[in-house]
Structure formats: structure tokens, C-alpha cells
Amino acid sequence: MPSTFMSGVNLGGWISQYWQASKEHFDTFIREEDITRIASWGMDHVRLPLDYPVIESDLHPGIYLEEGLHYIDNCLEWCQKHGLGLVLDLHRAPGYSFGTLDTNTLFDDESDQQRFIAIWEMLTKRYRGTRDQLWFELMNEVVDATSERWNRLAHRTIRAIREIDPERIIVYGGNHYNSIDELRHIELVPNDNRIVYTFHFYKPHLFTHQKASWSEAAKLYNQTINYPGRFPGLAEFLDSHPEFGGGENDLAGTFMDKALLQHYLQPAVEFMERSGHQLYCGEYGVIDEAPLTSRIGWHRDIVELLRNLGIGRACWSYKEMNFGLVNKAGRVVYPELVRIVSAH
């Protein structure tokens, strides 16, 4: 089994989910000094989300943009210099974005799937000399009605990568935004101990995304929620908005604490026991709308639980993005939060 990256941070907002696709933004949002700082915190890796338009134009499929690949090259070079690993995550793929589910075509369009596989073939050839330090994460937060189509495409892609590089560490996550509850529906790759399976953890969502403008339930609920604590007025809210009831939101009267987080992690425990494979938590975090003491308490508890299970992790996110450890100017917002998420 590959050694696990234990504590890291996402570089969201740089070459993925950027608010402007400009050279100025790409040149300045993350620099070597940021990687130096992350290493100084004691972290051992970064997760680098990538949106495919940075490296390939829809007008010219298969022609890859050196000016975009240059940013990956730089990040890898900086990480090597400062002793960090790197997880390269395809955050947005041809025909797929977790933010535009109604218009996605990847799982229906063979040409999109071929482009997806070709991107990974190109990256495998380009970075063949860096193995254990550079992991490839096939795609971020898949959402489809069932897992079958994603499993088929993931296995096709893994076979293509393996033909070029049998030793590359590949990160493979499940359906429904990489939900921990969907680990059971991932089709394991037989006889391949260089696969790391992954999930994201933002539970309970109403707490970690409280008042988030992009979450309809959280925006309408519009409550300040403390951790540990209860969900104020949730029963009345769900009575008025039954479309948001059930599942993870069925928390009226529930006391949210470390025991609840441990309960939510049980599918990961079961996956590791059943499969014998290790896991990696590629994203976790709490929005900056939450009270600071609650953000710190939730992070402290989930980090301890993941560490006890031997699950490596990368918090969301380094800079801004509503979850940032540093602000736009690069100043650390809450030193205690940095200390907690950096712990091995």
C-alpha cells in the first residue's frame, strides 16, 4: 500500500473555481511563498484542484496549453523544493462540473469521455518521473443517478493510466459529491494496491455550510448554529420546507457533537474493514459564517477522529473561498485553526 499523505490543504480558487481566468490571477493567487508557508505549518501535502479549460480549449480538443500546464509544473516544483506531496485533482472535466449538473454531458457523450481519458494520459506521460510525491485524483465530486457510469469511466481511465505508468498512485472517489455514504458503491479495482479511495466530509451540511448562498436549504434556514449544540428552529423550518427534510437534515432535536461525527464516519470504517484499502479525505471544513469557536471545535474533533482511523486529509481551503485559512492578502485568519488542521 502507498504511504498516506496525512495533513494537507486545498489550493481552491487558483486554477479551479477562479473568478477570473486571467494571467494576473493565475500568476498571483498562489506563489512559492504560499507553499513555503504551508510546509512551515507542518503539513505534508497540498491538493491542487484543476479545471480543464486551463489546459485545454473546447475549440481545440487534444491540444494542451503549455501556459496552463506551467502552473501545475510550478506548484510541483515548489512542493518538491519544500518537501510536500501533491494531489492533482481534476475538479472540472470536459462535459462535467459538479456546479452545472443539468447541462453535463460526460456520461452520455463518448467524445467527452475520450477527452477525459486523454487528459489523464497526457498528464501521466508529462509527470511520469514523479510518482509517490504526485497523486492523480480522477475527478472531483461526481453526481449521477447511480454509480455505474462513473465506475465504468473510472476503470477505463485507470487502465489507460496503467498502460503508461503501472506505479502511479490514483485517487478514486464515489458518487453524490464524493459522499462518505457512497463508498459502498465504488467498484474496487482488482489487484491494484496503488489506488487510494477518497471521500469528502462536510457533515452535518446545515452546520458546515450555514448561511451559504449556494445552498438553498442553508440559505433559507439562515440560522447561526453552534458546535457542539442543537439546530435552532429546525423542526419548524422542515415543516415549512418539507423538500429539505429527511436524510442528513433530519436533525431536529439532535445534539451535534463528536459522537455524531463519529457516527457519520462509520461508512469509512466499514469500507476499510471490508476492502482492506486505505482512505483519504480530500476535503473537509466549515464555512466562515459559523462562529469561530464552533469552527475550531468541529475541526478539532474531526481531525482527531480521522487521525485515529489513519485517514489522511486535506482541509478546504487555503485562501478565501469562504473557508480560507488565509485572507485575500495572505494573512492567517485564525492561527489556532491552522494549528489544528496541520497536525499529523
Q: Is residue 1 assigned to a domain?
A: no
pTM for the complete prediction? Answer: 0.97
- Predicted local confidence at residue 1, as pLDDT: 56
Spatial contact of 231 and 223, defined as CB atoms under 8 Å apart: yes
Read off the amino acid at residue 259. A
What CATH number has the domain bearing residue 95? 3.20.20.80
Spatial separation of the C-alpha atoms in residues 211 and 167, rounded to whole Å: 43
- Residue 249 counted as domain residue: no
Give the domain range for residue 271: 7-229+257-342
Q: Is residue 237 part of a domain?
A: no
- Residue 305 is predicted with a pLDDT of 98
- Among 172, 244, 171, smallest CA distance to 209 is for 244
Q: How far, in Å, CA of 320 to CA of 328, rounded?
A: 6
Please write the tens of the pLDDT for every residue from 271-291.
Answer: 999 999 989 999 999 999 999
When divided into structural domains, the chain yields a total of 1
Residue 294 in any domain: the answer is yes
Question: What are the distances in angstroms from CA 31 to CA 57, 223, 337?
Answer: 25, 37, 22
**Residues near 244 by beta carbon (within 8 Å), at least 6 away in sequence:** 216, 217, 220, 221, 237, 238
What is d(CA 296, CA 293) in angstroms, rounded to the nearest whole number? 5
338: its cell numbers: 491552522
Minimal CA–CA distance to 316: which of 136, 52, 87? Answer: 87
Is residue 197 classed exposed, middle or buried when 0-12, 13-18 and 19+ CB atoms within 10 A define those classes?
Answer: buried
Q: From the candidates 33, 141, 304, 320, which is the catalytic residue? A: 141
pLDDT at 2: 59
Q: Is 193 helix (H, G, I), strand (E, B) or coil?
A: coil
What is the model's pLDDT at position 344?
85
At 44 the pLDDT is 98
* Catalytic choice (283, 304, 320, 336): 283
pLDDT tens-digit profile of 29-69?
999 999 999 999 999 999 999 999 999 999 999 999 999 99
How many CB atoms are located within 10 Å of the residue 22 CB?
Answer: 10
Mean pLDDT by 10 residues, the chain (344 residues): 84 96 96 98 98 97 98 98 98 93 94 98 94 93 97 98 96 98 97 96 98 96 97 96 90 96 98 95 98 98 98 98 94 96 94
Based on the residue annotation, tell me whether 283 is a catalytic residue of this protein: yes
Residue 88 burial (CB count, 10 A): 21
pLDDT at 130: 84
The secondary structure of 251-313 as a DSSP string is -TTPPBSHHHHHHHTHHHHHHHHHH---EEEEEE---TTS-HHHHHHHHHHHHHHHHHHT-EE
Question: Which pLDDT score is estimated for 99?
Answer: 84
Domain assignment of residue 247, yes or no: no
Residue partners of 273: CB distance under 8 A and separation at least 6: none
2: which DSSP letter? P
Please classify residue 67 by burial: count the beta carbons closer than 10 Å to its beta carbon, then call 0-12 exposed, 13-18 middle and 19+ buried: exposed
Residue 121 belongs to some domain of the structure? yes
pLDDT score of 131? 74
- Within-domain flag for 273: yes
* Residue 304, in any domain of the structure: yes
